[in-house]
Amino acid sequence: MSTVRAINLVLPETEVYLAGSSIDGQLVLNLRSTLVDPVVKVELVGRGYLRWLEEENPEWDYEKSTACTNQAVYISKTQNFRIEDGWLDPGVYAFDFHFNFPPSIPSTFNSKIGCISYFVQGTCCSGQVVLAKEERCLLLQGIAGDHRRPVKDKAPLVVEARKDIVYFCCFRRGSMILRISLEKNIFCPGETIVFMTDIANRTCKYVRKLIFALHCIVLYRGFSSRGDPCSLEDRSEVARLESQTDTAPFETMRVTSALVLPKPMPVTSTVMENKIMAFRYELVGTSSLPCTMSTIMARVPIIIAATPKHCSVEQKSVTLHENEDDVSKEVSLHRDSSETDPGAMASRSTE
């Protein structure tokens, strides 16, 4: 029968922790009998890991894949509790702990290729023997990034896509223009993206539906078993919205839509900031062309900043044009590399 009856971590009722903030909690230990030479500690750990299989040489006649992997440690802190007299009598003991999160750590993230996770772990040992352990996962919102200057120019962002159509059955031509307008292109986790879409239907058919999706594009950086650097870009949907339009032939319609961002979510960043992966976002509007197998697509670059108090930035208008799948971009974004000063580390223990 184990000496430890139960071990519990008592944490505050916080759904999402913010990078640069702190966490206070208790490790509650319930002993069935006297514990000699105890080691009681709480650890705060944050780490990232990625792995994917890559074809080694596509020109070979046989298939041979190599694993690309990488890992990073974002935070590793331990608080050991001092035990007077070198033993603990039977009973219940509460140990207070306190940790500060660094301001530069990334958000909690999980995909089929990589993950970034954070957890608090409480452990009770006697000598080298682990008697009891409990682990609690944490959701953390990163604030890393350099998008935090006051707004000087509130000019809207506009993206326009155009597609020409030829109907061979009736020897007629047509075109369709999709224009997405936003008041800004910088948003915070949990915020709502409100945007307007203008559809210019210059065909003889109805345009029935529009599909909007926010895509997260992740660039993973790893190493093969031989130590060679390798990279992989993966795209996934963060939010999705379908809108019925029924735009009549040779008419123009405006649709106002909204997408709610989840929380937490990784902020727009580089590999240098996150060590093993980089994040960027696109708001993609898609519509099927009437009586054809092709679609028209407009892509809006979106920046995910930190939190509402960090979300004001200097930005200027951005206009993208697309015609027959050719895209030209004129982007002017100003960034500030200022960082939040980390708080001082503090710890305390209660016997």
- What's the rounded Cα separation, in Å, for the pair 34 and 45? 30
Distance separating alpha carbons of residues 167 and 192, to the nearest angstrom: 39
pLDDT for res 276: 95
- Note whether 53 and 89 are same-domain residues: yes
The per-residue pLDDT for 201 is 87
Tens-digit pLDDT profile for the chain (351 aa)? Answer: 688 999 999 999 999 999 999 999 999 999 999 999 999 999 999 999 999 998 766 666 566 788 999 999 999 999 999 998 889 999 999 999 999 999 999 999 999 999 999 999 999 998 889 999 999 999 999 986 554 444 443 457 899 999 887 766 556 678 889 999 999 888 999 999 999 999 998 888 888 889 999 999 999 999 998 899 999 999 999 999 998 888 888 888 999 999 999 989 999 999 888 899 999 999 999 998 777 777 899 999 999 987 655 444 334 444 445 444 443 333 322 333 333 333 333 333 333
Asked whether residue 190 falls in the same domain as residue 281, the answer is: yes
Cα 279 from Cα 236, distance rounded (Å): 11
CA distance 194 to 189: 14
Predicted TM-score (pTM) of this structure = 0.79
Domain stop point among 141, 168, 188: 141
Residues for the chain: how many in total? 351
Same domain, 262 and 120: no
**Pair (22, 79) in one structural domain:** yes
How much is the pLDDT for 254? 92
CA distance 254 to 181: 10
What is the pLDDT, as a whole number, of residue 265?
94
Query: Do residues 182 and 74 share a domain?
Result: no
CA distance 83 to 86: 6
The strand pair at 65-81 and 22-31 is best described as: unpaired
236 is a domain residue: yes
Domain boundary residue among 79, 106, 141?
Answer: 141
- Please check whether residues 128 and 182 belong to one and the same domain: no
pLDDT of residue 170: 56
| Domain membership flag for residue 148 | no
Range of the domain at 202: 157-313
Answer whether residue 321 is part of any domain: no
**Same domain, yes or no, for 306 and 226?**
yes
Dihedral sign for Cα 303, 240, 52, 55, please: negative
Report CA-CA distances (Å) from 128 to 31, 38, 39: 18, 10, 9
Both 28 and 113 in one domain: the answer is: yes
Tell whether 335 is covered by a domain: no
Q: What is the pLDDT of residue 341?
A: 37
Q: Judge whether 206 lies within some domain.
A: yes
How many other CB atoms are there within 10 angstroms of residue 62's CB atom? 5
Q: Is residue 336 part of a domain?
A: no
* Residue 261 resides in a domain: yes
Task: Indicate which CATH number applies to the domain containing 63.
Answer: 2.60.40.640
300 and 161 in a common domain:
yes
Whether residues 115 and 43 share a domain: the answer is yes
Are residues 21 and 111 located together in one domain of the fold? yes
Other CB atoms within a 10 A radius of the CB of residue 78 amount to 14
Total domains in the chain come to: 2
Show which of 116, 141, 166 is a domain's final residue: 141
Whether 318 is in a domain gets the answer no
Contacts 24+ apart (CB under 8 A), 279-282: 279/216, 279/217, 279/218, 279/219, 279/304, 280/216, 280/217, 280/219, 281/214, 281/215, 281/216, 281/217, 281/238, 282/214, 282/215, 282/217
Spatial CA neighbour of 234 closest among 244, 221, 223: 221
DSSP string across 88-123: E-SEEEEEEEEEE--TTPPPPEE-SSEEEEEEEEEE
Query: What is the reported pLDDT for 311?
Result: 47
Residue labelled with tokens 């795209």:
235
163 and 306 belong to one structural domain:
yes
